[in-house]
Amino acid sequence: MQQHTIAVVDDDPGVLKSLARLLSAFGFLVAPFASAEDFLSAAPTSKAECLVVDFNIGDVSGLELARHLAAAGFEFPIIFMTGSADDTVRMQCMELGCVAFLHKPFPEERLTEAINKAIGLNLQLAA
């Protein structure tokens, strides 16, 4: 069975480590990044099939990261995470075509379901 690579971008080392551990336990390969800039540098050679991105990640927000990636022609499915309940932020992310917008804390099933949707895993299993 093919392992799918998921990039996780979060500036909180604890969250990054927890998500990497969780996703690994579900059989995903995880590529952790501590900043948007780190992922932007790695994007041209990234094997990631999906991005899990914290909305507030330092100097470059998750939204700005998504915009930079789109402008550069990258089409990674993106799942945003945030601790904010701001509907404006949610709408901006949805307008960019994000797969899911998860409010922290969220059940692990919500994340894995969103990832499976993003990488088309459910379609593969149903075929």
In whole angstroms, give the CA distance from residue 51 to residue 74. 11
Structural domains present in the chain: 5-49+63-126 (3.40.50.2300)
Quickly state the pLDDT bin for 127 (edges 50, 70, 90). very low
Q: Is 70 helix (H, G, I), strand (E, B) or coil?
A: helix
Quickly state the pLDDT bin for 124 (edges 50, 70, 90). very low
In whole angstroms, give the CA distance from residue 52 to residue 124. 21
Cis peptide before 44 (omega within 30 of 0): no
What pLDDT, on the 0 to 100 scale, is given for residue 121?
63
- At residue 122, does pLDDT exceed 80? no
Give the closest residue to 78 by CA, choosing from 105, 54, 57, 106: 54
Quickly state the pLDDT bin for 39 (edges 50, 70, 90). very high
pTM for the whole structure: 0.90
pLDDT in tens, 54-90: 998 888 889 999 999 999 999 899 999 988 777 888 8
